């Protein structure tokens, strides 16, 4: 499915700094409905911070973020409302350990969105079935593998019916053999037309899933373009250098 022309999220010259250290410089970005934007870059480049600013976990110093044509960075923004439209999945396993899988999924829709349990549960079961976890519905997070936990975390965010999904290095903490099952779910999601911003180090996945790739370094968006262009012919020295680091491991994989 191809992105439409409708702009769903718009960042206009946002600046973010911790004390006197600037982590995001004048970032501007428009994301269209149905578009999958992959953000890559060395660690500490500001890509995770970017996601955290979009759903208000970090305040920005200036600039403007608009979601569905509404400015969400004004003073007095009700972030609890805004976040119901933005799904987010983190790197660390962030399921609530004292709740079962289904309780984890139901909490947001029922408590924040005041939807009926019956309706959400039906939706949750459908989604769980799609990722092959319906039989783990009443399991506790400690009984799940890392990959299963991240799939549940994705479904938990999806059940809020968000307009956009943010993925913050969701496979970075996983054992290698579990990475695939999570990426498959994300790929499926992308095909279904979900708008997504994905921060990742999985270059092959980025190439496969992205409509657009952003390369960030030192708080700047250094490069932006279609994945085949970016991966085959990066424009900047910094991007080339960054991509080269992955060549070695890819070559090794090819040999194997």
Partner 1 sequence: MLDTGIKVLFEGNNITRLLDGLWVTTRIALISVILSVFFGTIIGIGWSSRFRIIHVFARFYLEIMRIMPILVLLFLFYFGLTRIAHINLNAEMASIIVFTLWGTAEMSDLVRGALTSLPKHQKESGLALGLKSFDIYFYILVPQAIRRLLPATINLTTRIIKSTSLVVLIGVVELLKVGQQIIETASLLRNQTAAFWVYAVIFLLYFIICYPISQLSFHLEKKWQS
Q: Which of 229, 150, 141 is nearest to 186 (CA)?
A: 150
Question: Which of 13, 98 has the CB closer to partner 1?
Answer: 98
Q: How many helices (H) and strands (E) are present in the chain, helices listed first?
A: 9, 10
Helices (H), 70-166: 79-83, 101-107, 117-130, 146-158
Decide whether 34 or 141 has the Cβ nearer to partner 1.
141
Give whichever of 96 and 188 is closer to partner 1, judged by the CB atom: 96
CB of 80 to partner 1, least distance (A): 5
* Cβ at position 109, least distance to partner 1 in Å: 9
Helix runs in 72-116, H state only:
79-83, 101-107
CA angle (237, 37, 130) in 5-degree steps: 135
Helix, strand, coil % in the chain, rounded to nearest 5: 40, 25, 35
- Contact criterion met (CB below 8 Å) for 73 and 65: yes
Smallest distance, partner 1 to C-beta of residue 235, A: 34
* Interaction site with partner 1 (CB under 8 A): 55-57, 79-84, 86-88, 90, 92, 94-98, 107-108, 111-113, 140-142, 153, 156-157, 160
Residues whose CB falls within 8 Å of the CB of residue 233, separated by 6 or more in sequence, listed in order: none
Closer residue to partner 1 in complex, CB, 113/236: 113
CB of 92 to partner 1, least distance (A): 5
* CB closer to partner 1 out of 66 and 115: 115
CB of 186 to partner 1, least distance (A): 17
């Amino acid at each position: 499915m191809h992105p439409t022309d409708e702009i769903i999220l718009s960042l206009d010259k946002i600046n973010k700094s911790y004390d006197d250290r600037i982590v995001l410089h004048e970032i501007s970005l428009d994301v269209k409905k149905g578009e999958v934007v992959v953000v890559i870059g060395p660690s500490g480049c500001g890509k995770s911070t970017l996601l955290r600013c979009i759903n208000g976990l970090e305040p920005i110093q200036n600039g403007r973020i608009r979601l569905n044509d509404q400015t969400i960075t004004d003073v007095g923004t009700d972030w609890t409302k805004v976040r119901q439209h933005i799904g987010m999945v983190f790197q660390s396993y962030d399921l609530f350990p004292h709740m079962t899988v289904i309780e984890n999924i139901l909490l947001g829709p029922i408590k924040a969105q005041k939807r009926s349990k019956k309706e959400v549960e039906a939706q949750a079961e459908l989604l769980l079935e799609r990722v092959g976890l319906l039989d783990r519905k009443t399991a506790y997070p400690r009984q799940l593998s890392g990959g299963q936990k991240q799939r549940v975390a994705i479904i938990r965010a999806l059940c809020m019916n968000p307009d956009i999904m943010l993925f913050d290095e969701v496979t970075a903490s996983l054992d290698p053999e579990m990475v695939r099952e999570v990426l498959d779910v994300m790929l499926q999601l992308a095909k279904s037309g979900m708008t997504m911003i994905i921060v990742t180090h999985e270059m092959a996945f980025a190439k496969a899933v992205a409509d657009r790739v952003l390369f960030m370094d030192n708080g700047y968006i250094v490069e932006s373009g279609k994945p085949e262009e970016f991966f085959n012919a990066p424009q900047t020295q910094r991007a080339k250098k960054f991509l080269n680091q992955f060549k070695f491991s890819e070559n090794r994989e090819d040999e194997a």
